[in-house]
Structure 1
Amino acid sequence: MKGSILSKQEFTFDDLKRILLEGAGADEGVDLDGDILDSEFETLGYESLALLETGGRIEREFGITLDDDVFTDNPTPRSLVTAINESLSALVDA
């Protein structure tokens, strides 16, 4: 099976929340369990350094390489999860 080196084949919103909390914590006023799928990361209190850390953790855990502008192009959790799953799918199909 191609892509069998991956420990996971799908990146979920729960994965994103866990990685955000592990890497950068949560802003006091933000409930990551709330309806935040379409909220911008900046609004949620995640600045560029926190997002770089998050991206690095995603790359290591899921065995992918993210484009430098992945967070700029995908400023919300929903769009980021979709983009990461597209990267995972491309890796498995390669």
Structure 2
Amino acid sequence: MERLELTVLADLLREAAGDDEGAVLDEGTLDTSFLDLGYDSLALLQVTGVIERDHDVLLDEEALAEAQTPRQYLDLVNGALAARAAA
């Protein structure tokens, strides 16, 4: 995976939170907080674990804790993926 796309993040969050929980993630919700979208820290922790395991990347826990929106989360994950690919 070169980049984590919003659609993939949305699918992972739905799986982690349960199909009936959480709002739709799209371009219009990139700057909406995960809490306002219905996703809690446990869902994000599960998604982070999947990304780290499946894509052999280590994500900065402190930075991820500060990522409050899908845009911030995607920026951090994609930065880590780019750094891994450049190494």
CA contact (8 A) 1:24 1:54 kept: no
Distance 1:80 1:9, change over 3 A: same
- Percent of aligned pairs sharing the same letter: 36
Q: How far apart, in 2, do the equivalents of 1:50 and 1:39 lie?
A: 16
Give the superposition deviation at 1:71: 3.0
Which of 34, 48, 65 aligns to 1:41? It is 34
CA contact (8 A) 2:34 2:69 kept: yes
The two structures have a TM-score, normalised by structure 2, of 0.83
Instruction: Tell me the matched-pair count.
Output: 86
Name the counterpart of 1:72: 65
Gaps of 5+ in 2: none
Q: CA–CA distance in 2 between the matches of 1:76 and 1:33?
A: 12
Given that 2:6 and 2:25 are in contact with CA atoms closer than 8 Å, whether structure 1 keeps it comes out as no
Deviations for 1:17-61, whole angstroms, at most 9, x for unmatched residues? 111112223536x23347211111111111121111111111122
Whichever residue aligns with residue 13 of structure 1, its letter is L
- The two structures, once aligned, show a CA RMSD in angstroms of 1.8
Report runs of 4+ in structure 1 exceeding 3 Å deviation. none
Q: Whose RCO is larger (CA < 8 A, sep 6+)?
A: 1
1:57 corresponding residue in structure 2: 50
Measure, in 2, the Cα distance between the counterparts of 1:71 and 1:41: 12
Name the counterpart of 1:27. Answer: 21
Q: 1:69, CA displacement in angstroms?
A: 2.3
- Structure having the higher Rg: 1
